[in-house]
Amino acid sequence: MSSNLPNFHIEPPIAISRSSSAGAKSRPSRHRQPSPRPPRAPRRPVRARQPQLGFEEPEPASHALALAHLASSPSMTGRHKAIRLPPLKGLRVHNPKRATENPCIAIMSSVLACWASAGFNATGCAAIENQLRRCMDGPAAAPAPANTINYHLARMQKYMTSPRKQK
């Protein structure tokens, strides 16, 4: 049986890509391609430090350098900078001698509050009034000892280091 159909040869489809076009310049992609990175070394697992009796692991070199830097600082060696004071003719603490408050003032405040709430002739305020009378008629409290902080500041100032002028 012969057919009148022409004999066609069918080829498989050809894959065409932009880069395989011969002689044509390739256009740069608008999408940024990631740059190839070298593979990372695996990280060491983090271990909690546990106190060990009589045995210590050797520290890494970077830790030894950090300790050497700290050892050269003045706080680790025991050397401290001298205390710098402001340029004053005399040191002074403001109002070191405060007058002590009269202890009867608190009782007087209680009496006034009682009168305001209960009225002037209230019998409930009699106990507080008697306490106020005893406080006012009693001996005065001994004065507090004088504060000598300013005297001692002036006495010790010659031993302090004053600030130097910046050049």
Locate tokens 């990280």: which residue?
43
**166 token code pair:** 């910046």
Best CA proximity match to 134, nearest among 107, 110, 116: 107
**165 token code pair:** 């002028």
Distance CA 133, CA 107 (A): 10
User: Cα 69–71–73 angle (5° rounding)?
Assistant: 75
What's the pLDDT tens digit per position in 74-131? 555 567 777 776 666 666 777 777 777 888 999 999 999 998 888 767 778 888 999 9
CB atoms within 10 A of CB 101: 8
pLDDT level of residue 150 (50, 70, 90 thresholds): confident
**What pLDDT, on the 0 to 100 scale, is given for residue 136?**
92
pTM of the model: 0.33
